[in-house]
Amino acid sequence: MDKDHLLDTWKRSLERTKSARTVITYIKSLESFIKHIGEKDLIHIDPRRIYEYVDTSSLNTSSILTHLSAIKHFYKFAFRRGYVDKEKYSDIESVIDEVREDLGRNIAKRYPKALTEEEINKILSAVKGAKYEKIYVLFLYSGIRLSEYLSLRKSDFYQDKSGLLWIRLSADITKRRKERLVPVLGSSKEETYAVIDRLLVWIESYEENFRVKRGSLQVFTNRLSRKLCIPFSLHSFRHTYITNLVNSGFPAEVVKEFAGHSNVRTTIDIYYKFSQERARQLVENFLK
């Protein structure tokens, strides 16, 4: 497979897994990047040239972040197909994440929105009895990323002596390339164990109950969002999980590890917004 074939294959993959608007945006973003670095350097790129691309760009911050997402998506695709080795991809990913973090300080914070209890009930009611109910419950109570879900197996789940269900995510499927343990947790003890009971039954036939292609899952979710008039994506379940951890009083360094954030600053800046209600509950718990 030559470089042109790789680009064509990447574009076809985008068309299967992304919205039409995202496909156009990503392709134009990568074309802009190629124009800057030169086609011959696309595969054998020095990751530092990404800094150069950003530093010389006349784009606004939001557009640069979009371009970085497209560039990262392309190199991840190239890595999985053997065009870029693991070390090179890790270097590229580190540079992009560092630039994103720097740029993120210069734009207004747009905090992710957790789903309300009413929204969750509507979503799960709409898929009750279907495979998507099981998948959504898994996302909602574990906070895993879509990329991590796609590589999960039945053997990655285990129950400890207290009855708590954990998911062991191996280093090769996590964003940080570091193994992490994720507990299945709800907003209360009762909800947690009720969900665990359901998941344990479903996990027995994991492939049958949870295996869905990325594209199919995303398309279904987008259509359901429009049908229910609830603006949500698969990532909304992750935001809800992390928000529940914060509201339950888990310290930032613990939430960081469960969520798989690269920096505790990310966890604090995005999720630890002051809440009068949470503060009141923490004070009450302290006095018990």
Q: Give me the pLDDT at residue 274, please.
A: 56
List, run by run, the mean pLDDT of 10-residue segments along the chain (288 residues): 83 87 92 89 89 90 90 93 90 89 59 86 97 98 94 96 96 85 95 97 96 91 94 93 92 94 83 69 72
Q: Give me the pLDDT at residue 272, please.
A: 79
pTM: 0.62
Instruction: Say if CB 148 and CB 173 are below 8 A apart.
Output: yes
Domain ranges of the chain: 3-104, 117-287
Q: Give me the pLDDT at residue 173, please.
A: 86
Identify which of 272, 236, 255, 212 has the alpha carbon closest to the alpha carbon of residue 120.
236
CATH dotted code for 117-287 = 1.10.443.10
| 3-104: in CATH 1.10.150 | yes
Q: Give me the pLDDT at residue 276, please.
A: 64
Q: Give me the pLDDT at residue 108, please.
A: 43
